[in-house]
Structure 1
């Protein structure tokens, strides 16, 4: 067996071990979140805007668009009309707010990206390198042996900043592959009404029997559309906890409730919760552990509605799964073309997804892509609210599960090419699952 093959086999075995540790939790056993919507907190930290870039937004819209939350179900009204520079500024404000709201857990990393405070990840370290970094004051927080991809989480000594800790680590163990542990966000915005035309609801294409999909996101709450779905949840940042974002994405995959129907209705859904209810979680290392668990399920597709920076550990994990033929689908984000390219969508082996509105136009706030594969409906549509009811959603987060569903059904991106629809703007090779949008009016979406 080749070194690559043995590494992959060990990775899958590690995922299977994680699965055995507690994969029996089901969506209907999780508590429902408050019924009737997910209101913003009454006391929201004021956002200071430099210049007039965000002048088109009202103060409430600025707060909603910058508030870190796992319960976002759409891009704030008005954000889609902002210019590229304004969207990029909005991203900086939002990431800065996430750091300010969680000072004990997060700090600013390269380019202002939130990273876990005082934590570095060593990749495939030798015993000699670990002895050297220990002598430099670093302690091992955890070790994950994923088979040919060993991840060692190191805690920096004292109150060293991440940047200072990286400098010390490199000096202590030259040649050691290491990176920060950045935080990845749900690729969605704040829960506010969405303007725009809607289309009549139509049934998505059928899902062949026996298919399975993994979504890496927040936890999924109980909902009428999910009561008959086969859902297994596993937490990777503590116990799985219900979130608005995760519930919405799950409903777009396997939901079924009257006129509402997900694009993968009938498939088995595995949910890897990388947040545990905290927006300060969702780290690269948690995603990698979730990917190992996901691979052990031998899914027909993995849906990832998350965005963040490039990371060496995540890049290597994605490469291993891509060589195995595991199909991964990820969102390009909603920070506009002036923002940095987002990952994991930009990695080779991942299908990159953007979103279109009801008129088949690319969303103006959709992120820039290193390589854009497909678009799918991501606006003027409904998704489940935790507990009961539906919300209008907008963002590339909600296009991603639709592409994942069709990829799971057809088996390849080449097969998807045969069912594409045309649209306008940057939509990659075309629009997938055009009939998968549920008109918000049909289900009384708020």
Structure 2
């Protein structure tokens, strides 16, 4: 594979991992091995290497990023056909089940007569839903069509994938992550040294590099500058060892847990498609005062809008490199609130290993920490004032004022721990 093409495939996000990605999120499958990929986080070429060969975001670049995204989804299904399928829109989803929002007993009885079985009835922040097992031989599309015809608000349990990677550099002495400061939420893989942790997938909680790296950019430590040094981390592991981890229902439950823990700000460096259940839970969590910060993803400008970043009221974050240029692989959302450093910088993974990281995954936690410093407790009435103070500190990039590329400006520009 030519170097530039390998770079484009990799920077399309953690949807295009090499074989080493199993160490990053142990439950997620990987693409075939690519040259130059070491252990831990994937070995991603630096932005200067990519930009020098690609230049501006050409149509060919956009097409390659989009092709990488689609190829990665197809590979997920090939690697785990019993656990993952593609939904009618081509997004990966949990196989063999669907989710029905607040179904009536009449609908459930009709579904049972058609061979559907109830896996679980759940309620998250007042949002009720039922997970149904598909009858043998029933395709996901057929099930969605059938249950919608019965009047159900039904969806696939779509997967959300991480939006960044990096290259291992060195190991630093271990230190407990989290002091006596504000509790900040990380919905991702498990975080090593988190103050509180909860699992929402088979095999969870289980610390991994991606979740731990995201947390390191909030709390700092191991020689990394955090956006809120000394913060305590509330870790919701939505992956564990489940090949279909990161699904919408797991993230929904994680948001409910964050509210129960009194977390005021939670960051999500994962991207997926719009999901009606998750949209309702996001709205319920926001109504209770939880500020949700999410990455716009790394699938390129041709990719569909990324969620949860695109849900109303979610703080959507894009990333810039060491020269404050928007990453060429940055995805899109229905809105962009802020930019933050997301390349030419270091973070730490499990065991204190330091990584050179790249991706919108690593911009979102920087913004989350800055917001949490000004909004440390759940209080819906205080959110607007806290965000106004963040706005005032943001550095205007691109066209004057708010714009679709950098939002209201770059936050935490002084937080980057530069890589050498």
Q: What is the TM-score normalised by the length of structure 2?
A: 0.81
Give the secondary structure class of the aligned counterpart of 1:110.
Answer: coil
Residue 179 (1) aligns with residue 129 (2): no
Q: What is the deviation of 1:331?
A: 0.3
Q: What is the deviation of 1:400?
A: 0.4
Cα-to-partner distance string for 1:338-365 (whole Å, 9 max, x where unaligned): 1110100001110000001111111111
| Alignment check: 8 A CA contact 1:117 1:161 kept | no
Residue 438 (1) aligns with residue 417 (2): yes
Cα 1:209–1:60 change in 2 (3 A) is closer
Once residues 376 and 430 of structure 1 are traced to their aligned partners in structure 2, the CA distance between those partners, rounded to angstroms, is 8
Cα 1:358–1:111 change in 2 (3 A) is same
Q: What is the deviation of 1:62?
A: 4.7
Pick aligned residue for 1:159 from 137, 142, 159: 137
Between 82-91 and 54-63, the greater mean CA deviation after superposition: 54-63
| Alignment check: 8 A CA contact 1:360 1:422 kept | no
Residue 383 (1) aligns with residue 347 (2): yes
Once residues 311 and 398 of structure 2 are traced to their aligned partners in structure 1, the CA distance between those partners, rounded to angstroms, is 25
Specify every segment of 5 or more residues in structure 2 that has no aligned partner in the other structure, as ranges: 25-39, 170-177, 376-385, 400-404
Give the secondary structure class of the aligned counterpart of 1:261.
Answer: coil
Once residues 158 and 315 of structure 1 are traced to their aligned partners in structure 2, the CA distance between those partners, rounded to angstroms, is 29
For CA contacts below 8 A with separation 6 or more, give which structure has more relative contact order: 1
Cα-to-partner distance string for 1:31-60 (whole Å, 9 max, x where unaligned): xxxxxxxxxxxxxxxxxxxxxxx9663569
> Which residue number corresponds to residue 255 of structure 1?
220
> Which residue number corresponds to residue 245 of structure 1?
210
> Which residue number corresponds to residue 348 of structure 1?
312
> Following superposition of structure 1 onto structure 2, how do residues 109-128 of structure 1 map, counting pairs within 5 Å?
109-128=87-106
> Which residue number corresponds to residue 327 of structure 2?
363
| Alignment check: 8 A CA contact 1:385 1:391 kept | yes
Cα 1:211–1:231 change in 2 (3 A) is same
RMSD: 2.5
Pick aligned residue for 2:191 from 188, 201, 220: 220
Q: What is the deviation of 1:325?
A: 2.5
Residue 211 (1) aligns with residue 182 (2): yes
Q: What is the deviation of 1:63?
A: 7.4
Cα 1:158–1:400 change in 2 (3 A) is same
| Alignment check: 8 A CA contact 2:166 2:356 kept | no
Pick aligned residue for 1:67 from 2, 17, 26: 17
Cα 1:192–1:162 change in 2 (3 A) is farther
Once residues 305 and 7 of structure 2 are traced to their aligned partners in structure 1, the CA distance between those partners, rounded to angstroms, is 28
Give the secondary structure class of the aligned counterpart of 1:57.
Answer: helix
Once residues 50 and 131 of structure 2 are traced to their aligned partners in structure 1, the CA distance between those partners, rounded to angstroms, is 37
- Number of aligned residue pairs: 365
| Alignment check: 8 A CA contact 1:328 1:351 kept | yes
| Alignment check: 8 A CA contact 1:362 1:423 kept | no
Once residues 373 and 129 of structure 1 are traced to their aligned partners in structure 2, the CA distance between those partners, rounded to angstroms, is 40
Q: What is the TM-score normalised by the length of structure 1?
A: 0.77
> Which residue number corresponds to residue 95 of structure 1?
73
> Following superposition of structure 1 onto structure 2, how do residues 124-139 of structure 1 map, counting pairs within 5 Å?
124-139=102-117
Q: What is the deviation of 1:168?
A: 2.3
